[in-house]
Amino acid sequence: RVSLVLFTSDLRLYDHPPLRAALTSADAVVPLFVRDPAVAAAGFATPNRNAFLADCLADLDAGLRERGGRLVVRSGELVEEVCRAAREADADEVHLSAAHSRFATRREERLRRALESDGRRLYVHDAVTVVVPPGEVTPAGSDHFAVFTPYLRRWTQVRLRPATGAPRRVHVPDHVRGEPLPARGAVPGVSPALPAGGESEGRRRVTAYWRGGLDAYDEVRDDLAADATSKLSAHLHFGTLSPVELVHLARRRGGAGAEALVRQLAWRDFHRQVLAARPDAAHTDYRTRHDHWRTEDSAREDIEAWRQGRTGYPVIDAAMRQLRHEGWMHNRARLLAASFLSKTLYVDWRIGAAHFLHWLVDGDVANNQLNWQWVAGTGTDTRPNRVLNPVTQAKKYDPDGAYVHRWVPELRDLAAPTVHEPWRLQGFDRAALDYPDPVVELSEGLERFRRARTGP
C-alpha cells in the first residue's frame, strides 16, 4: 500500500503526525511538496520567503534521503498535482496538516472533493502547525476568544498530544518522479542578511537558545540592543519546528524564561483562532472604529519615509532598516514601527501590514495582520487608543542607543539620549548630520489621532 503526504507549512520530519500516520498505514509513501502559482499570485511568495523555503525543501529532501527516501517536488495547481501524484502512485490515502486561513481551508475542501471523486481519502491532522487548534477552546456564546488573558487560561489547561521523533526509514516508490528542487541562489531581491532555513538549522537554533538564551528570555525580550529573543518565528511559519514539541521542551525546562516563551506561543495560536473564525480580519477591521485613515494618495511622502527608514525618528528608522536587511524585525521594534505608522502618521494599517508581509521571512497572515490590527486599535487590544511614544520607548528599550547605532550609521557618533532626539542638536552639530528632520511632530500626530478617533 502507498500513502501520500502533502507537505505545506510543516516542512519537517520530527513530530509530524501526517507522515507518521502515512507510514503506519502504508509500506511506501510519497512525500510531496507542490509549488502552486496561486500562492505567488496571492502575494505570499516573496523573495525572502522563497529563499527560506528553498533551504527548507533542500533540508527536507536531505533528511528523507538519509532515511532511504526523497522529496517529490512538483509545480502546478495544488489540487490537480496532488490528484495526479496520488493516481501515479496508486495511493489510496492522502495525509495533510490542517491549515487555518481562508485560502488554505478552501483549497483543502476542493482537495477533499477531488480525491473522493477519485476513490481516495483525505486525512487532515490537527495540532501540527499550532499547539491548540482553533475552535478547541472557546468562550461561552462565541466561536473564538477576543481577549488574550482568558484564552491563555484555557489554552494552558489543554492536554497536549506527545511529541514524536523522526521516522527511521521512508520508502518512496521509484516511479513517482518530481522536478529539481528550487535553488536559493536563484531568488533575486533577497535581504542581504536573511537567515538560513531548514529543519536542521531550526533544531540547531533551539539547542543553542535552550543553552544560552531561554532562561533570561523574560527579562531581555524587550531589550532592542540585546537582540535576545529566540528567532524561531520563520521556523514556526514554515513548520520546520513543531510548536507542540517546543511547548513540551519549554515546560520540561521550566522557569520564568521558558514560561514567557510558552506564553508567546499561545499568542500565535490566539491570532490563528481569531483568523479561523473571522477570515475577513486579514483585510477588514476586526472592530470597526470609523477611521478615516490617510492613504497612499494623501500621505505618500510620509509612507515612503517610513518604508525607507527616513522618518527622522531614529528608533523607527533603525527598525525599518533592520526589516530590509534581515527580513526580520525585533518584536518591540515591530510594535513601535506599526504604532508610528498607524497612530502617529494615522496611515491605514493595511499599508504597513503589506510592507511587512513583503519583507518578513516569518510574514504570516494571522500573526502579521492581527498584530497590525492590535497595534492600530482595530483588533483585539483592550486599550485601542494607546499610542507608543517612539522617544520614550527608545530611551527605555535602547538606553545606550546601541540598536540605533547598529542600523542608522549616520547617528553612530551620537551618545544616548541625544541619539534618540537628534533634532535637539544645535547649530553646526545639527547641520553636520546627514539625517532628516522628523516627518511630523509627535504632539501634532497625537492631536490628529485623538481628533480622528474620538470625532470632532
User: Binding site for FAD: what residues are annotated?
Assistant: 217, 229-233, 362-364
Which stretch in 65-73, 186-194, 370-378, 443-451 sits in contact with ligand FAD by CB under 6 A? 370-378
Least distance from C-beta 149 to ligand FAD, angstroms? Answer: 14
Q: How many angstroms from the chain centroid is the CA of residue 242? A: 14
340 touches ligand FAD (CB under 6 A):
no
367 touches ligand FAD (CB under 6 A):
yes
268 touches ligand FAD (CB under 6 A):
yes
- Longest CA–CA separation in the chain, Å: 80
Residues 220-239 binding ligand FAD (CB under 6 A) are: 221, 229-233, 236-237
Whether omega for the bond prior to residue 192 falls within 30 degrees of 0, making it cis, is: no
> In whole angstroms, how large is the CA radius of gyration of the chain?
23
Residue (69 or 239) nearer to ligand FAD, CB: 239
387 touches ligand FAD (CB under 6 A):
no
Within 254-289, where are the H helices? 256-277
Distance, in Å, from the CA atom of 128 to the CA atom of 112, rounded to the nearest integer, reads 19
Distance, in Å, from the CA atom of 237 to the CA atom of 10, rounded to the nearest integer, reads 8
Residue (101 or 371) nearer to ligand FAD, CB: 371
265 touches ligand FAD (CB under 6 A):
yes
- The residue type at 290: H
363 touches ligand FAD (CB under 6 A):
yes
Residue (50 or 230) nearer to ligand FAD, CB: 230
Please identify which residue in 267, 340, 346, 397 interacts with ligand FAD, judged by CB under 6 A.
267
Give the residue carrying C-alpha cell 524585525: 329
Long-range contacts at 396-401 (CB < 8 A, ≥ 24 apart): 397/222, 397/223, 397/224, 397/332, 398/223, 398/224, 398/225, 398/315, 400/225, 401/314
Distance, in Å, from the CA atom of 368 to the CA atom of 401, rounded to the nearest integer, reads 27
331 touches ligand FAD (CB under 6 A):
yes
Least distance from C-beta 147 to ligand FAD, angstroms? Answer: 15
By CB under 6 A, name the binding residues for ligand FAD.
Answer: 221, 229-233, 236-237, 261, 264-265, 267-268, 271, 331, 334-335, 338, 356, 360, 362-364, 367-368, 371-372, 375
